Amino acid sequence: MTDIHPHGLNHGWRWLAQILNMEPLSDVTATLLFDFLEVCGNALMKQYQVQFWKMLILIKEDYFPRIEAITSSGQMGSFIRLKQFLEKCLQHKDIPVPKGFLTSSFWRS
């Protein structure tokens, strides 16, 4: 029997919802969202399916303008990275497995 991870996907889902309910901080929020979605997005996509895609559309349509409004032109790097990543994921209807992801077969070898 495999142990259930003490910080399962439900914690990630709750964290994402809490971030989106806060006012964004210049540079910080875009960086956090990008890193989180790059690492956990694939697993969240598989677990939450339609609800996850609704959340990404909410980020794109409602949260991006709020981040952009408080971000100065010299701090746009993290915002642009997040925006490009999210637009690509929405376009392809997929979030790639994170770089360096180890499959369960790795642990059995």
What per-residue string of b and e applies to 28-48 under the rule 16 or more CB within 10 Å gives b?
ebbebbbeebbebbbbbbeeb
**In terms of pLDDT, which residue wins out, 25 or 99?**
25
Q: What percent of the chain has pLDDT above 90?
A: 74
Confidence label for 7 from pLDDT (cuts 50, 70 and 90): confident
What are 55's two structure tokens? 């959340």
- Distance (Å, rounded) from C-alpha 29 to C-alpha 4? 29
Angle (CA) 36 32 27, round 5°: 155
Roughly what angle, to the nearest 10 degrees, separates helices 28-58 and 76-92?
A: 30
Average pLDDT, the chain: 90
Query: Using CA atoms, how far apart are residues 17 and 19, in angstroms rounded to an integer?
Result: 6
